Amino acid sequence: MSRNEFSCDCNVIHQEAVDEVLQKMPNEDTFNHLADLFKLIGDTTRCRILFALDQSEMCVCDLANVLNMTKSSISHQLAVLRRSGVVKCRKSGKEVYYTLDDEHIVKLFEIGLVHINHKG
């Protein structure tokens, strides 16, 4: 199936290395999920929302004030984050309160921040 139809336009130069790496490569789904996760936090607005929610539970208006953006923008991004399962919300009166619902996000941020300090 996947290995029988070739899209690459060149020959293998180091067959051993290629075979060895091919064996260790995770499947397509894994890479798609991995890329989706990083894509999710690869946006300034979502980064800031998640960072804020890591400090404190917040409603949409508070987030809009912290980020200095419209409620609509924030709400759209919160919907994305909610669909991906990294934040959860509870309703109380007119307001909807959001919290971070994923332990790994903060760890990724920590390593990311170390990375930034190491480079320019």
Partner DNA sequence: TTGACAGTTGAATAATTATTCATATATAAT
Partner DNA sequence: ATTATATATGAATAATTATTCAACTGTCAA
Q: Which residues of this chain interact with a second copy, rule CB under 8 A?
A: 2-3, 6-14, 17-18, 20-22, 24-26, 30-44, 46-48, 51-52, 55-59, 61-62, 64-72, 85, 95, 102, 104, 107-109, 111-116, 118-119
Residue 82 vs 109, nearer CB to DNA: 82
Q: Does 117 bind DNA (CB under 7 A)?
A: no
Q: Residue 7 carries which DSSP code?
A: -
96 binds, among DNA, a second copy, none (CB under 5 to 8 A by kind): DNA
Phi, psi of 58 (to 5 degrees): -145, 150
79 binds, among a second copy, DNA, none (CB under 5 to 8 A by kind): DNA
- Rounded CA separation 1/7 (Å): 12
Among 17, 79, 106, 113, binds DNA (CB under 7 A): 79
Paired strand residues for 95 = 92
Residue 63 vs residues 40, 45, 75: alpha-carbon distances, Å: 18, 11, 9
- Rounded CA separation 56/58 (Å): 6
Which of 18-26, 88-96, 105-113 is the region at the interface with DNA (rule: CB under 7 A)?
88-96
